[in-house]
Amino acid sequence: MKIKDVVLFCVRSLAGYPLRTGLMLLAMAIGVAAVVLLTSLGEGARRYVTDQFSSLGTHLLIVLPGRSETVGGPPPLLGQTPRDLTLSDAMSLKSSSAIHHVAPLMVGAAPVGHGHLIREVIVLGSTAELYIVRGLTMAQGRFIPTGDVNRAEALCVLGYKLKSELFGSDSPLGQFVRIADRRYRVVGVLSKKGQSLGFDMSDVAIIPVASASALFNRSSLFRIMVQASGREAIPKAKAAILKIIRERHDDEDDVTVITQDALLATFDRIFKSLTLAVAGIASISLAVAGILIMNVMLIAVSQRTAEVGLLKAVGTPGRQIQRLFLSEAAMLSLIGAGAGLLLAMGGKMVLIRIFPAFPVTIPYWAPAAAVGLALVSGLIFGVLPARRAARLDPVAALSRR
Amino acid sequence: MIIRLERIERTFQVGDEQVRALRQISLGVQAGEYLSIMGPSGSGKSTLLNILGLLDRPDQGTYWLEERNTTDLNDRQQAEIRRHRIGFIFQFFHLIPRLSAAENVELPLTLAGIDPTLRKQRVDQALDRLGLADRAKHRPDQLSGGQRQRVAIARATIMHPSIILADEPTGNLDRSSGNEVIQVVESLHREGMTVVMVTHDPELGQRARRRVKMMDGLIVEDREG
Ligand SMILES: Nc1ncnc2c1ncn2[C@@H]1O[C@H](COP(=O)(O)OP(=O)(O)OP(=O)(O)O)[C@@H](O)[C@H]1O
Ligand SMILES: [Mg+2]
């Protein structure tokens, strides 16, 4: 029998029972759409988190005060609170060849004003190297100049949004802003850059770290951001940081070093397995659709007994009859899967409407896997009815009318 | 001899009881013969016809079809013989309801994988011959009983079989359409096909050159002329 004739025969017998066929198509379509949509949600979550971390910059290590190891050791005794991280701790890290840039970070909140406009924002104290480490870009002017990090120069860099709110469309360069009760000269404005790890970089003021120390009257750093000299140098840089800090802190391991890569890899792994798990759960709906196909095909076989008997009488071997019924199941699966992909596409658009910030992306493998699973499920569950048809006794089938 | 049965036995199990539908049936049919089988209900006529058509297997005995022992052929080989050598005509027509008359006639050709252009040619020819050219696109439920049976006959003969097996082909028709159908069947015989027809109607049975009478699974009469 020619393939075109097989297809035609199957289509006509499917079209002969529109309600039954429609229900099976619906089940398949929902299954496929579920697989595709849920995996794309998982993939979207993965991308979202990865993007967040990537926007931190490259080859990044973050040094936090305090140990946060979760294994081994008794709980710290009273009075053993971790030593503060200081600016000189940060600068001493530069001695390692595995470390290219070091940006100390001091964080506080303060009112920032110009004229009669005042806004309460996050004030970051850092050095010129923050620019490189965070991969910042300028909209106007320049960043904090290089030079002696211990000099508390009264100058500042504004985030894009903060600048617009204080200065409108005027150029702020060379003008002064008030931070708390001190005056700072504006030297530059950051370009629009999104959120990264909690800081909205468009809504900050950045001042030299020594100025921040004076402003907030403290010497402890919030964290130190370190850029290793390359991806391969990250482990070396981490070891160097731990060693240098231990020497400076009386042989005490009281800092935590987070590498961006490790963080990224962990999150990547977590979200990949999450996506797969979700896809697995969704594929159960495909198996359910397969079982539905089996049931309905079994009914079809018993309803079409006389037809099967006739096919046998005109000389169709059992194998060919089996193939015809299997083709029918396969076509149901494929058409249902096609409808499911369309459904998923529509669903994706709805999701994008509802969560515009969330990157809903259908991973390239999801549609293929879903269609493949639909086909496999249809075929597996189509075997039983097809075999029943093939084994039907033609005499009994034809004696009924 | 086109058909040769030797001591065919067919028994059905009904509950605890064994029903011997055919007992030691031996029968020979020459190519081109026209044979009618008559007998009371339950005498085994349909069972015999199903065995002749390879739809059923005897429990014992041997069946030679065109000098070939069919008893130990497998499903595929038997199907092959049914496809090319045997045409069935049933009391209830057994047309596929969703297909048009032409498509029903075409079905054996389609299943056999014959080229569409050749198929169309042969179907048109067959429908034309049976006076159904203007009904080609009608579905079975839009045809009269006589027309349905003629479509079924066109389907049975579309592969040019050598044997036609008809089980009460007029059983479901009124007298005049029954007569039409019988004339078609007899014309097939005149063209050289071997025709074996089961019938309840003595008048129709008498028209066959050779008449076999069955009773309780036995052939009790076999007359010629
Ligand atoms: N599948 C079956 N299972 C059990 N018994 C059967 C089966 N088929 C036929 N029989 C029995 O075998 C006997 C012969 O049946 P068959 O159908 O050949 O009779 P028939 O001569 O064609 O009768 P009718 O004129 O009513 O069609 C009957 O007693 C019938 O009950
Ligand atoms: Mg009968």
Q: What is the mean pLDDT of residues B136-156?
A: 95
Share of chain A above pLDDT 90, in %: 34
Residue closest to B82 by CA, chosen among B194, B165, B152: B165
Give a yes or no: residue B153 inside a domain.
yes
Q: Is the CB of B21 within 6 Å of ligand 1?
A: yes
Residue A5: its chain B contacts at CB < 8 A? 110, 113
Terminal C-alpha separation, chain A: 27
Residue A46 shares a structural domain with residue A104: no
CA dihedral of residues B62, A392, A310, B194 (deg, nearest 10): 0
Which pLDDT does position A149 carry in this prediction? 87
Q: Are residues A124 and A204 in the same domain?
A: yes
A341-351 pLDDT, tens per residue? 999 999 989 98
Q: Flag whether A72 is in a domain.
A: no
The answer to the question of residue A92 being in a domain is: no
Rounded Cα gap, residues A143 and A163, in angstroms: 14
Total Cβ atoms within 10 A of residue A348: 19
Residues B36, B213: Cα–Cα separation, whole Å = 8
**Pairing between strand B3-14 and B60-65?**
antiparallel
**pLDDT exceeds cutoff 80 at A262:** no
What residue has token string 């297909």?
Answer: B99
Q: Of B98, B157, B94, nearest to B129 (Cα)?
A: B157
Q: Is the pLDDT of residue A330 over 50?
A: yes
pLDDT computed for residue A71 by the predictor: 45
pLDDT confidence tier of residue B132, bands split at 50, 70 and 90: very high
Nearest to B170 by CA among B135, B211, B139, B207: B207
Distance CA B35, CA B15 (A): 34
Same domain, residue pair A199 and A271: no
On the question of pLDDT at A274 being above 60, the answer is yes
Q: Taking the alpha carbons of A398, A400, B3, B7 in that order, is the dihedral positive or negative?
A: positive
> How many whole angstroms from its chain centre is CA B41?
18
Count of domains for chain A: 2
Query: DSSP strand E in B32-144: where?
Result: 34-38, 60-65, 68-69, 86-89
* Cβ contacts of A314 on chain B, cutoff 8 Å: 82-83, 88, 107-108, 111, 155, 159
A215/A296 same-domain check = no
Neighbours of ion ligand 2 (CB under 5 A): B 46
At residue A23, does pLDDT exceed 90? no
Using CA atoms, how far apart are residues B17 and B4, in angstroms rounded to an integer?
Answer: 30
pLDDT at A69: 53
For the cut 50, the answer to whether the pLDDT of residue B104 exceeds it is yes
- pLDDT for B102 equals 95
Residues in a beta bridge with B34: B195
DSSP string of A284-296, one letter each residue: HHHHHHHHHHHHH
State the residue range of the domain holding A272.
3-52+265-398
Most confident region among A248-257, A276-285, B51-60 by mean pLDDT: B51-60
- Residue A362's pLDDT band (boundaries 50, 70, 90)? confident
Q: What is the DSSP track for A139-184?
A: EEE--SPPS-TT----EEEE-HHHHHHHHTTS--TT-EEEETTEEE
B175 in any annotated domain: yes
Per the model's pLDDT, the better-predicted residue between A24 and A199 turns out to be A24
CATH of the domain at B50: 3.40.50.300
Residue B69 within any structural domain of the chain: no
pLDDT at residue B88, rounded to an integer: 96
pLDDT, mean of residues B50-66: 95
The answer, for B175 touching chain A at a CB cutoff of 8 Å, is no
Q: Are B96 and B104 in contact (CB under 8 A)?
A: yes
d(CA B131, CA B129): 5
Residue A79 has pLDDT above 50, yes or no: no
- What is the domain range of residue B174? 32-59+74-212+220-224
Determine the pLDDT at residue A186. 94
Residue-level pLDDT at A293? 82
Residues A219 and A297: their CA atoms lie apart, in Å, by: 77
> What pLDDT shows up at residue B162?
95
Q: Are residues A313 and A383 in the same domain?
A: yes
pLDDT of residue A58: 66
Residues A284 and A370 in one domain: yes
Q: What is residue A41's predicted lDDT score, i.e. its pLDDT?
A: 85
Which structure tokens are listed for B79?
Answer: 């199907």
Q: Which ligand is nearest to the CA of B11?
A: 1
Question: Rounded to the nearest whole angstrom, what is the distance from the C-alpha of residue B221 to the centroid of ligand 1?
Answer: 19
Do A220 and A272 belong to one domain?
Answer: no
If asked whether residues A303 and A213 sit together in one domain, one would say no
Task: Report if residue A107 sits inside a domain.
Answer: yes
Domain assignment of residue B94, yes or no: yes
Listed range (A276-285, B41-50, B119-128) with the worst mean pLDDT: A276-285
B9 found inside a domain? no
CA of B20 to the centre of ligand 1 (A): 9
Would you say residue A87 lies in a domain?
Answer: no
Please answer whether residues A265 and A113 qualify as being in contact, where contact means their C-beta atoms are separated by less than 8 angstroms: no
- Identify whether the C-beta of residue B193 lies closer than 8 Å to the C-beta of residue B162: yes
State yes or no: pLDDT of A195 exceeds 60. no
pLDDT band at A211 (very low <50, low <70, confident <90, very high): very high
pTM here?
A: 0.72
Tell me whether residues A316 and B94 touch, CB distance under 8 A: no
- Our mutation pick for probing the ligand 1 site, out of A395, A398, A400, counting the most ligand atoms within 8 A of Cβ, is A395
Average confidence (pLDDT) over A1-27 = 88
The ligand whose atoms approach the alpha carbon of B38 most closely is 1
Mean pLDDT calculated for residue range A218-236: 87
- Closest chain B CA to residue A2: B113
Is the Cβ of B81 closer than 8 Å to some Cβ of chain A? yes
Q: Which two tokens stand for residue B197?
A: 């027809």
CB-CB neighbours of A303 under 10 Å:
12
Two structure tokens written together for A140: 């106007």
Closest residue CA from atom 17 of ligand 1: B46
| Ligand 1 touching residue B43 (CB < 6 A) | yes
pLDDT at B70: 94
A295 & A392 share domain: yes
The 10s digit of each residue's pLDDT in B209-224 is: 999 999 999 999 999 8
Q: What contacts B184, CB < 8 A, 6 or more positions away?
A: B130, B150, B153
Q: Is the pLDDT of residue A189 over 90?
A: yes
The pLDDT-based confidence of A377 (bands split at 50, 70, 90) is confident
Residue B12 Cβ inside 6 Å of ligand 1? The answer reads: yes
Which residue CA neighbors atom 11 of ligand 1 most closely? Answer: B21
Domain count across chain B: 1
Sorting pLDDT into bands at 50, 70 and 90, what band is B125? very high
CA angle A54, A56, A62 (to 5 degrees): 115
Among the residue ranges A38-52, A226-240, B65-79, the one predicted with the least confidence is A38-52
**Is A314 in contact with B155 (Cβ distance < 8 A)?**
yes
Query: What average pLDDT does range A5-28 have in this prediction?
Result: 88
**pLDDT tens for each residue of A65-76:** 877 654 444 555
